[in-house]
Amino acid sequence: MRRYIAYCGLDCETCEARLATVNNDDALRQRVAKEWSELNGVEITAEMINCVGCRTDGIKTPYCEALCPIRQCALDRRVETCGSCGDMKSCEKLGAILKNNAGAYRNLKG
């Protein structure tokens, strides 16, 4: 499994939060914070947009670090990704990701 594939199958290499972090791009942090705030109906600040990847050591956004139910479940179950979990196909936590992102499913099964 590629290092930057998140537990849910999303590709952290293409995540704008990770790109802003590794490139130290404050303008991108501002844009992502604004977009994510609007999408999620909560205030997300540019300072929160720091992440090096879901399954890598290092900084993560507050959501990814402590609030993401998929990441917390995978850590509790000690699986490499959700693709290693026998409950993947029936998982309600993962369902929305897989429904809206065919690439995530391919990443988990690839």
What global pTM score does this model have? 0.88
Judge contact between 88 and 108, C-beta under 8 A.
Answer: yes
| pLDDT tens for each residue of 3-38 | 899 999 999 999 999 999 999 999 999 999 999 999
Task: Examine the pLDDT at 74 and tell me if it is beyond 90.
Answer: yes
Q: What residue ranges do the domains of the chain occupy?
A: 12-109
